[in-house]
Structure 1
């Protein structure tokens, strides 16, 4: 019922949703270049041209929603530049609609300053809800606020999609197959170092977040069970309650050893400073 498409390049991702009565929906995620790069203007125009090609290709067969960071404020009439003119021309010629509902970009000091994130849509008789800017997500570490829009849309059932082939992946976490104790020990070891890092500037905060992401990913890969499930029964069952108890004890002592090691390292650092 849902499948990715090859249209677009690195800044554009397309997904097709198969609807009832062949009323298919094309979802396009886009990130237009900011003004910070050397060739941002040429890359901005090139990405718009790619979007235009996709719209022309699917406009007669699909409803469309283009969502993402456009890096231009379409609601700010005082801001005039060639990038914005090119974007507005594309929106008008493609017959796309959008709403200005509030600022979505936040400065480092917490000030909401411009509206850069949009849903550009071409939905025919489908009436979407107005775009909502969501500022209440506490764990949002981005400098952009999330946006939301709803539509009432009928999706094809399995019988309509029986001729399609798709890769179905079960992404449910098998906690009983993962080494949770080892994961906790590895993350605790890295967390002590992270907590002592400075967070005074945006660059420092970004560096800390990148390191947190890296060691969480490494711990997950190390502790996850990637082996294929062995369906046949083992000939000899060597696992026992005593072995499980011994393994649990070993992991507990390992975690204590790591903690003590970190404490000794900190004392040495403080001694050297003195």
Structure 2
């Protein structure tokens, strides 16, 4: 996809979307990776960024034209920045800044599941997931818990959204085995009619002795016809992870006209002052109270506070706007035309005289 400047991208229709999932194994080593793939990728589903809660702002500093959101392993119990262990885990979703007005972050799932909604030709739910690897019995319990959460999310949004899930599943879902982990995961995917394609090896052990296929992009069956192509990118020069990115190009129309419908759009102040004397205050109060019912009663981290603050501003703004009477149109009087032909000729003559003097 050719690079398109920010302004023209918002005014034109974009008919294709390039989505990539990548277990980056420390996102702070990936700045050159995003430089290389920026022109050909719209949305990055990221796993194992290795950032802690207080470092998540770094996701917006990887590239001048990329922004996003993420979840960290210590979201519920933030680690003290003065005594940090080695980073691990975490999920995130990054997107080109010219898509920012079409995307809404969602606060659902645990730190291994990150979700956003995209508004375009249809409502699209994007999910980045990082499932636990094989290990202790407690890992198996966490694995099942993550699958259950993923199942609940898909069930909740299936009727109203198209769904794309990308991530490191730590299981080859195309190679069915008799293990409880594999069977549990595959059964849930089949129940929700999620499909993917075989695209070869996606993980190479650092010793070079082991390979596997554990990174996938999944789509709902009814979205399958929109998938143009899918590939494992094993030739990215700046990739320093032991995972290969998996990328898909899908048919999906993003039109600038849809921007105003997205609640994540930047809120602009209303022109002029709000005429509170003319506003239906009872209707305003009802709209605000109704909107407050949808707010979460508990805020556990900085991201939730920021999101709640943004949603509160949006609620108050939209409630006031809907109750405020439409302003009457003002027609400006035409400017007084003081320039006549004689004055115009005199000015032209003066300029001509001045130029001849310079010569």
Same fold by TM-score, threshold 0.5 exceeded? yes
Give, in angstroms, the shift of residue 138 of structure 1.
1.9
Aligned partner of 1:12 in structure 2 is: 113
Aligned partner of 1:46 in structure 2 is: 145
In the superposition, the TM-score normalised over structure 1's length comes to 0.56
User: 1:48-197, aligned counterparts within 5 Å?
Assistant: 48-77=147-176, 79-111=177-209, 113-122=211-220, 124-125=222-223, 126-158=225-257, 160-162=259-261, 164-166=263-265
Give, in angstroms, the shift of residue 159 of structure 1.
5.2
Give distance in 1, aligned partners of 2:258 and 2:213: 42
More helix by share: 1
Give, in angstroms, the shift of residue 67 of structure 1.
0.3
Structure 2 CA distance for partners of 1:53 and 1:145, relative to 1, 3 Å: same
In the superposition, the TM-score normalised over structure 2's length comes to 0.43
**Equivalent residues of 2:228, 2:250 under 8 A apart:** yes
Aligned to 2:251, the other structure's residue is in SS state: coil
Structure 2, unpaired ranges of 5+: 1-101, 268-359
Give, in angstroms, the shift of residue 61 of structure 1.
0.4
Aligned to 1:141, the other structure's residue is in SS state: coil
Give, in angstroms, the shift of residue 94 of structure 1.
0.4
Structure 2 CA distance for partners of 1:92 and 1:102, relative to 1, 3 Å: same
Q: What is the count of residue pairs matched by the alignment?
A: 165
Give, in angstroms, the shift of residue 83 of structure 1.
0.4
Deviations 1:118-140 (A, max 9, x none): 11111625421342111111221
Aligned partner of 1:197 in structure 2 is: none
Deviations 1:8-39 (A, max 9, x none): 1100000100023xx20000000000013451
Residue 94 of structure 2 is aligned to residue 2 of structure 1? no
**Equivalent residues of 1:96, 1:122 under 8 A apart:** yes
**Equivalent residues of 2:140, 2:181 under 8 A apart:** yes
Aligned partner of 2:128 in structure 1 is: 29
Give distance in 1, aligned partners of 2:266 and 2:209: 43
Give distance in 2, aligned partners of 1:80 and 1:146: 28
Give distance in 2, aligned partners of 1:150 and 1:159: 21
Give, in angstroms, the shift of residue 112 of structure 1.
5.7
**Equivalent residues of 2:127, 2:164 under 8 A apart:** yes
Give, in angstroms, the shift of residue 3 of structure 1.
1.3
Aligned to 2:104, the other structure's residue is in SS state: strand
Give, in angstroms, the shift of residue 100 of structure 1.
1.4
Give distance in 2, aligned partners of 1:165 and 1:31: 25
**Equivalent residues of 1:32, 1:44 under 8 A apart:** yes
Structure 2 CA distance for partners of 1:108 and 1:160, relative to 1, 3 Å: closer
